[in-house]
Chains A and B, each alone.
Chain A
Amino acid sequence: MEEINQNSQTSLDFNTEKFEPKDEIEIKQIIKFCYKKNLPIEIVGNKTKLDIGKKMQCAKTLDMSKFSGIVDYKPEELYIKVKAGTPINFVREELKKNNQHLAFEPVNFSKIFKKNQNEGTVGGTLSCNFSGSRRFKVGSARDHILGFKGFNGKGEKIKSGGTVVKNVTGYDLSKLITGSFGTLLVISELTLKVLPLESETKTIIVSGLALEHAIGIMGSAIASSNDPSGAVYYPGNLRNNFVFNDLTHPGSITAIRVEGTKISTEQRINNLTKELVLEDKKLTILDRMQSEIFWEDTRSLKALSNTDKNILRAVVPPSETVNLLNRLKTFHPNYFLDWGGSLIWLELDYLSSQKIDQIRQRILDANGYLTVIKSPENVKSSSEIFTIDPIKFKISQNIKKSFDPKRIFNPGKMYTGI
Chain B
Amino acid sequence: MSSLKMPKVDRQILKNKYKIVNDIADFTKRDNILSENEELKPYETDGLAAYKQTPMMVVLPENTSEVSKILSYCNKNKIKVVPRGAGTGLAGSALPLADCVLLGLGKFNQIKEIDYDNRCVVAQPGVTNLSITHAVQDKGFYYAPDPSSQMACSIGGNVAENSGGVHSLKYGTTTNNILGVEVVLMDGTITRIGGKVFDSPGYDLLGLITGSEGLLCVITEVTVKILKKPDTVKAILLGFPTIEDAGNSVMEIISNGIIPAGMEIMDKVLLEATNNFSKAGYPLEAEAMLITELDGTKSEVDELIKKVAEICKKNKCTSVKISKSDEERAKFWSGRKAAFPACGEMAPDYYCVDGTIPRSKLAKVLREITKLSKKYKLPVANAFHAGDGNLHPIIMFDANDKISLEKTEKFGEDILKLCVKHGGVLSGEHGIGIEKRELMCEMFNNDDIQQQINIKNSLDPSSLLNPGKVYPILRKCAEEGRLHIHGRDKSKFSDIPRF
Contacts and interface: CB of A to CB of B under 8 A. Distances in A.
Interface in A19-78: 74-78
Interface in A248-289: 260-261, 263-264, 266-268, 271
A178 to B, nearest CB: 6
A103 B213 CA distance: 29
B296 A162 contact: no
A318 B385 CA distance: 35
Interface in A379-410: 386-389, 391-392, 395-396, 398-399, 401-403
Contact of A263 (B200, B299, B423): B299
Given A142-B204, A159-B444, A267-B297, A402 B191 contact: no
Interface of A: 1, 74-78, 99, 129, 131, 135-136, 139-140, 142-143, 152, 156-160, 162-176, 178-180, 184, 195-199, 219, 222-227, 260-261, 263-264, 266-268, 271, 315-319, 339, 342, 367-369, 371, 386-389, 391-392, 395-396, 398-399, 401-403, 414-415
A176 B207 contact: yes
A267 B454 CA distance: 53
B451 A402 contact: yes
A398 B431 CA distance: 25
B296 A264 contact: yes
A170 B452 contact: yes
Interface string B435-453: 0000010011111111110
Contacts of A175: 175, 204, 206-208, 210
Nearest to B447: A156
A169 B435 CA distance: 12
Contact of B197 (A77, A160, A369): A369
A195 B259 contact: yes
A156 B448 CA distance: 9
B392 to A, nearest CB: 11
B201 interface: yes
A225 B231 contact: yes
11 contacts: A74-B358, A139-B172, A163-B423, A164-B356, A168-B430, A175-B175, A179-B199, A227-B296, A368-B195, A392-B205, A396-B203
B303 A143 contact: no
B458 interface: yes
Contacts, number: 257
Contacts of A199: 257
B359 interface: yes
Contact of A168 (B185, B193, B428): B428
A167 B367 CA distance: 23
Nearest to A131: B199
A73 B264 CA distance: 25
A172 B205 CA distance: 10
B452 A171 contact: yes
B321 interface: no
Contacts of A162: 356, 423-425
A263 B455 contact: no
Contact of A158 (B229, B451, B479): B451
Given A171-B212, A395-B205, A1 B255 contact: no
Contacts of B207: 142, 172, 174-176, 178
A53 B429 CA distance: 36
A171 B228 CA distance: 31
Given A1-B478, A170-B432, A391-B189, A219 B117 contact: yes
Interface stretch (B30-38, B71-79, B161-169, B483-491): B161-169
A172 B208 contact: yes
A268 B198 contact: no
A1 B197 CA distance: 42
Contacts of B213: 168
Given A167-B428, A227-B296, A317 B356 contact: no
B196 interface: yes
A358 to B, nearest CB: 18
Given A143-B176, A391-B189, A398-B458, A169 B201 contact: no
B131 interface: no
A118 B73 CA distance: 54
B455 A171 contact: yes
A317 B164 CA distance: 26
B202 to A, nearest CB: 5
Given A168-B428, A225-B229, A402-B457, 14 more contacts: A131-B199, A156-B451, A162-B423, A164-B357, A168-B213, A168-B432, A170-B471, A172-B211, A196-B257, A199-B257, A223-B141, A261-B303, A318-B118, A392-B193
Interface of B: 115-119, 140-141, 161-162, 164, 168-169, 172-173, 175-176, 185, 189, 191, 193, 195-208, 210-213, 216, 228-231, 251, 254-255, 257-259, 296-300, 303-304, 356-360, 385, 388-390, 423-432, 440, 443-452, 454-455, 457-459, 470-471, 478-479
A164 B255 CA distance: 16
Residue among A129, A171, A387 facing the most chain B CB atoms (10 A cut-off)? A171
B231 A168 contact: no
B388 A179 contact: no
B207 to A, nearest CB: 3
Given A143-B172, A162-B425, A319-B117, A403 B451 contact: yes
Nearest to B216: A171
Nearest to A219: B117
A317 B191 contact: no
Contact of B203 (A160, A179, A222, A318): A179
A271 B118 contact: no
Given A168-B432, A196-B257, A319 B118 contact: yes
Contacts of B168: 165-166
Given A175-B207, A369-B200, A168 B429 contact: yes
A166 B228 contact: no
Given A99-B257, A396-B203, A168 B448 contact: no
B198 A136 contact: yes
Contacts of B254: 76, 78, 196
Contacts of A388: 201-202
Contacts of A266: 299
B197 A166 contact: no
Residue among B118, B388, B390, B451 facing the most chain A CB atoms (10 A cut-off)? B451
A164 B358 contact: yes
A313 B156 CA distance: 31
B451 A392 contact: no
Given A99-B257, A173-B451, A267-B297, A371 B204 contact: no
A227 B230 contact: yes
A208 to B, nearest CB: 24
Residue among B195, B229, B360 facing the most chain A CB atoms (10 A cut-off)? B195
Contacts of B356: 162, 164-167
A212 B484 CA distance: 62
B11 to A, nearest CB: 31
B448 A158 contact: yes
A89 to B, nearest CB: 22
Given A171-B211, A264-B303, A271-B297, A386 B446 contact: no
A96 B207 CA distance: 29
Nearest to A198: B257
A169 B212 contact: no
